[in-house]
Amino acid sequence: MKRRLALGLLAGVVIGAAGVILVASMQRPAPAPPQTVRIPAGPQDYRPAGEFRQGTRIIDAPLQRVNVATLKIMTNQVSEADYARCVAADACAAAPVGGVAGAAQTNVNHADATAYAAWLSDQTGQQWRLPTDAEWLRAAAERGFDDGFGEDANGADPSRRWIASYRREVELRGEADLELHPMGHFGVNSMGVADISGNVWEWTETCFQNGTLTPDATEIATSSDYCGVRAVQGKHRAFVVDFIRDARSGGCAAGVPPDYLGFRLVLD
């Protein structure tokens, strides 16, 4: 009898019509695949993510025309409830919650996001990953792509770039929104993607680039990736140290710190 009770505690007990004890599995059901939006392939203008120099001067990276393949991206960001299932399965590190019903999971770093992608891939039999910076911008549509400062800030006088950067930071800091909202609060864009330019910035797989430009600044001459810092995207692009969960408290390597850090995945 004790053995039967132990089995019941581990796996659940069902009493049959004849009084026979049947062991029923208590294994958690696999999660349903997340809802996705299909974004068709197409060309887009893209300014590479990182810091580029011409000689000793930092200037805008040149615009490139890139082709983005057909993309299936999550309609919504990964929610606190979704992430909690991964934590319960011991596949993700625990992360703080905001106490707002239906909110996106925030206060997560790059490793948290990739761990969740690996767990979801295992559970669904599909291949999930973080988007690249260019893919995220393709899904963002109306957000735009260009974080360059323009010709005046790229001239011989470095103070002009500093002033342009300062003015942009003042403007962007004034737009900060530190209130957590339920998912869907910021609406759906023309691609059908929800909350993509709200106050939750999203991790991408793109590493920070250090590069040099050709003398006419039209092409990248050399570049190297530093993957300890990743591009994150929201109302603007920023670069965040990969283990940081709250960039407002430090760890934003370049750009204005995001209000919150979260993520959504793409399906290969």
Tokens of 175: 């737009």
Return the DSSP state at 173: H
Is the whole-model pTM more than 0.95? no
The pLDDT assigned to 152 comes to 60
Which residue ranges form the domains of the chain, and what is each CATH number?
1-29 (no CATH), 36-267 (3.90.1580)
The pLDDT assigned to 154 comes to 58
13 C-beta neighbours (distance < 10 Å), count: 14
Segments of the chain scoring below 70 in pLDDT:
1-31, 142-175
The pLDDT assigned to 168 comes to 60
The pLDDT assigned to 167 comes to 61
The pLDDT assigned to 21 comes to 42
The pLDDT assigned to 23 comes to 39
The pLDDT assigned to 126 comes to 96
Instruction: Characterize 100-125 residue by residue with b for buried, 16 or more Cβ atoms within 10 angstroms of its Cβ, and e for exposed.
Output: eeebbbbebbbebbbbbbbbbbebee
The pLDDT assigned to 159 comes to 57
Amino acid at site 39: I
Return the DSSP state at 202: E
Q: Where are the beta strands (DSSP E) in 60-191?
A: 64-68, 71-74, 128-129
Identify whether the C-beta of residue 236 lies closer than 8 Å to the C-beta of residue 143: no
109 vs 96: CA distance, rounded Å: 12
The pLDDT assigned to 7 comes to 33
18 vs 1: CA distance, rounded Å: 17
Encode pLDDT of 196-238 as tens digits: 989 999 999 999 999 998 988 888 999 999 999 999 999 888 8
